[in-house]
Structure 1
Amino acid sequence: MTKPREPNGVEPPHSEEDMQREQLGPRGVPGAPDPARMTPQREKKTPKHIELGHTS
């Protein structure tokens, strides 16, 4: 029996990047805190409500 393939465009819940972050930390330093944060300007540009199913 073979495992059914996921359709294109669907990401797995746990990616290779997630595994590397667990092993090496966010900046390649194990145990270091993640310094990345959203800037106020980016936060203003990020939509609060996302229309699901909108194609354009």
Structure 2
Amino acid sequence: MSKPREPNGVEPSRSEDDIQRDQLGPRGVPNAPDPAKMTPQRDKKTPKQVDPGHTA
């Protein structure tokens, strides 16, 4: 018997990128800290409210 397939439009809980990031670290170096951080300028430009509501 074969494994049941997930219906179309359903995202898996973890992507291939998530799995590789766990194995290799954020920059491909195992156990290295993630150097990415938000700059103060980008933090100011990022909207605080994410849900814009209905557009129609």
TM norm. shorter chain > 0.5: yes
The alignment's TM-score, normalised by the length of structure 1, stands at: 0.71
Which amino acid in structure 2 is aligned with residue 26 of structure 1? P
Report runs of 4+ in structure 1 exceeding 2 Å deviation.
Answer: 1-4, 10-13, 51-56
Alpha-carbon offset, residue 51 of structure 1: 2.3
Alpha-carbon offset, residue 50 of structure 1: 1.8
CA RMSD of aligned residues (A): 2.6
Q: Distance in 2 between matches of 1:13 and 1:5?
A: 14
Identity between Structure 1 and Structure 2 (%): 63
Which protein is bigger by CA-based radius of gyration? 2
Q: Distance in 2 between matches of 1:12 and 1:55?
A: 29
Residue 18 (structure 2) aligns with? 18
The alignment's TM-score, normalised by the length of structure 2, stands at: 0.71
Which amino acid in structure 1 is aligned with residue 46 of structure 2? T
After superposition, give the CA deviation of every residue in 1:9-28 in whole Å (9 maximum; x if it has no partner).
Answer: x6433111110000100111
Residue 35 (structure 1) aligns with? 35
